Every structure is written in C-alpha cells, then in structure tokens.
C-alpha cells in the first residue's frame, strides 16, 4: 500500500509531494466526511468564509472517478484565504483541480494539491477506497471547501 503526503509549509499548508512511511498526521482528527462538513463553520450572509484555524480531518471515502478544474468561485476563495492569512502568493495557485468523492450517501468535491494530482491519477481509479487528509479553508457562500493534503488508496 502506498501513502502519498505533502511536506508542511507554515500554517499547515503543504507544498511538495513525498512518499512517507511514517508521516505525522496527528493533527488530523478522525471523522466521517459528514461530521467534518457539519463541524466546518460558515459565516451566514457572506460570499466567502475564511477559516484561519487549522481544521484538519482524516476521512474515508470512495473516489467516483470524476475530476474537474477548480471552479472560479473556489479560485477566488483561495486568493482571499492566502491574502487574509498573509500566505505567499503561490498558495493561491496550489490548487487547480478537484476530485469527487462519495461518502455518507452523497457526493463531495475536494480541491487537491497540484503536487498530488499525478500520484492520485496513477493510484486511484473509480471506486477506489481512500483515506484522505483534508483541511477546511473556508466556504463560498454555503459551500464548504476542504482541500486534500494527503491520500492513501486502501485495499478493496
């Protein structure tokens, strides 16, 4: 079983892919995807919610096989998130693609780090069981946005 993760860069964002046998994911709380979604705060009546805390989860889901380019509203969220938290400007462009997962009887779209796209495409196929390390960065209106910081394809 292969584990892919990314090395930490300030405030728990990640920049480069590395294969790690003993990655430290201790800051990631074990949860269902539905639980992570329900715990993620949204500021009512705003176009964008920016999460300043490091809200991280380890979740399990199935990959639907669907992927897409990052939607414009989510690109804007990344730009605002990076600027609000004084991250380097590169943070706004670290995510250009999303993957779709199935968990808790519904579909979710998750932006995945550019550095993880190729390993993910090589390892995961439609129906693959996944263990994902996700972090909440905020929301576009009522749509919560969690990013994939690491993944593991689990045995079927």
pLDDT of residue 22: 52
- Read off the pLDDT of each residue in 79-94 and give the average, rounded to a whole number: 90
Burial of 49-76, coded b for 16+ CB within 10 Å and e otherwise, reads bbbeeebbbbbbbbbbeebeebeeebbe
For the chain, the structural domain boundaries read: 3-19+27-154
**pLDDT tens digits for range 17-43:** 334 345 789 999 999 999 999 999 999
Return the CATH fold of 3-19+27-154.
OB fold (Dihydrolipoamide Acetyltransferase, E2P) (2.40.50)
Its pTM surpasses 0.75: yes
Cα–Cα distance between 5 and 151 in angstroms, integer? 6
């Amino acid at each position: 079983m292969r584990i892919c993760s990314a090395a930490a860069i300030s405030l728990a964002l990640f920049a480069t892919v590395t294969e790690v046998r003993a990655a430290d994911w201790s800051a990631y709380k074990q949860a269902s995807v539905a639980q992570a979604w329900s715990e993620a705060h949204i500021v009512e009546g705003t176009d964008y919610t920016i999460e300043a805390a490091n809200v991280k989860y380890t979740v399990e889901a199935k990959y639907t096989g669907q992927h897409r380019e990052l939607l414009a509203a989510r690109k804007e969220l990344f730009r605002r998130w990076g600027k609000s938290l004084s991250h380097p400007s590169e943070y706004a462009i670290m995510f250009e693609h999303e993957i779709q997962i199935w968990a808790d009887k519904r579909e979710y779209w998750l932006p995945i780090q550019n550095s993880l796209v190729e390993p993910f495409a090589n390892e995961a196929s439609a129906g693959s069981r996944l263990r994902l390390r996700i972090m909440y960065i905020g929301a576009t209106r009522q749509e919560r946005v969690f990013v994939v910081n690491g993944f593991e394809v689990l045995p079927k």
